[in-house]
Structure 1
Amino acid sequence: MEAIRTILCPVDFSPATERQLAFAADLCRLFGAKLVLHHNLAVAPPGAGVGWMWSGEHGGAPSEAGDEERLRRLMATLPEGIEVEAKITHGLPSTSVVTVGELVGADLVVITTHGKSPEEHTSVTEQVLDRARCGVLALHEAREGEAPERLVAAGEPPRPVVVPTDFSKESMAAVECAFELARRLPLEPHLLHVVSPGGVAAKATSEEPSSALAEESRRRLAELVPADLDGRVFVHVGVGDPGHEIAAAAERLVAAFVVMGEHTRAGWRRWLTRDTSRAVLHEVRCPVWYVPGTAA
């Protein structure tokens, strides 16, 4: 797992912002990372005009001044000891997020998805996943009456984390990320491999029975568990559609989040397809952490 030194947190001042900021702050304290708050003002032609948050004597436009003050108030709520700065942009939301991420050298983007997009359109979160070069932690809006979650609440027992893998290099980056998080936090990684209903998955042939393939998959999953996490990592083999099986496992285990390898920017391999990533993003209620394959 690559070091996380800078975390980008794009905010829109919606009710989801509080939970998003809490997650980002927890991660900053965990990794000793710098936090960059980002707000995009308006939709403009393609491209993003990026400006550092200016000093107090800067006049600025009324709308910019108002949002600058809202960013300052957010910054004031952060725990002491977190290095933080802010950016305001004008442009297409996804372009602005990706551009700011590259400018500040972000290692992780913490973003909130506001629901499933129409079939003919992609959401801002999906566009960021397509184009970002760093990891992306996608949160969901809390349901009405639902208390905002934290990354890990103080004093609670270890929480499950679902980690799907097809044993490719890309998905192994997510496995290593989950293991590193488990070393730092009270988390229990649950490794998951999904085989097709016919018993054919990845390199398997149609002659291989499903039971034999499942046992082979469990063996390979067990071999991934490092000695220092023995007894804290669990292995599962699912049968069916990968996206559905991942979402079902997350619901069944009441997962803290899902950690998935290689987001859509570079293309997915085997059953970790673009459709799978979107299905997981929109079917699960817990956060989804997408880890680039190059992070291994």
Structure 2
Amino acid sequence: MPVDQTLSNYSDLAFQSAFVLYVVALAASAVLYTRMQTVVESHRARTAERTPVLVGAGGPDIPADSPALPEVDGAGQKAQRQATKAAGITQALVWLAIVFHTAAVILRGLATQRFPLGNLYEYVLTITLGVMIIIAVALTRTSWRVLWPWVLTPMLALMFYGGTKLYAESAPVVPALQSHWLPIHVSTVSIGASIGIVSGVFSLLYLLRMWQTPGQEKGVFGFLAKPLPSAKRLDALAYKSAIFTLPVFGLGVVLGAIWAESAWGRFWGWDPKETMAFVTWILYAAYLHARATAGWKDYRAAIINIVALASMIFNLFFINLVVSGLHSYAGLN
């Protein structure tokens, strides 16, 4: 099929516009994060003054769903207003960027007259869009938007790498991918992987908060952890995300097996990519099991979730670009 180069160019332009908007949103979220540093310090100082017994303990944690922090001084109130404004700007910029990001995906598909999932660049383009939509919905509550820098930074790094090192010109896919199973299998895996990435990020933040407990933060990592919600809330977000990851990603693996039987005459062949996908699914199952098991509801379960995230990233890049197998074409048109 002929490629509409004009639409392809518009897709690239939309991707670049989305990237710039995400960068500006990251800057706004950085302002939010630094202002929350002042708010937290002010809140703890006022609380310590009113409850002297807490001085040695460093003060209580701030509820992540608290709509306001009345126990702050004048500087804290000013910082709170600035943080609220920066949070609104960040959210608005992210949604605007998502519009351009979505346009980039749609235009890429229209340009090639197929689902835009034929190479690794298009997969990265799609999976980052999935992550941003999921996070934007999850962080609708203003008090959770302090997490934006921790999401935008890795997503921008992934988009930059995808748009530079993995970029592929719009073109028809290789014969092996010319199947109606392509959008069904890859889109399902993309959705599951997107949710899994979100879950893994929250588990990383959970470990950071466990290490740097509220009121006892030290050093650079303590400075970074100070505005974060409690470890309990971060762990809950990671767990709820993983609950959706397991069935969706697992369905994607099953659909891939069905496609494999249609294309290669067997459901399973222990190809490197399908093997690592299965290992990743097992790790998510192990995380949910550990998370529901008494005695494992701590950092050990979170480590399993982070290993699952690492496995997914390893499968995305190393298996696609380095290891030779039946899925080696995934990085190229």
Tell me the TM-score normalized by structure 2.
0.27
**Higher strand fraction (1 or 2):** 1
**Higher helix fraction (1 or 2):** 2
Rg larger in structure? 2
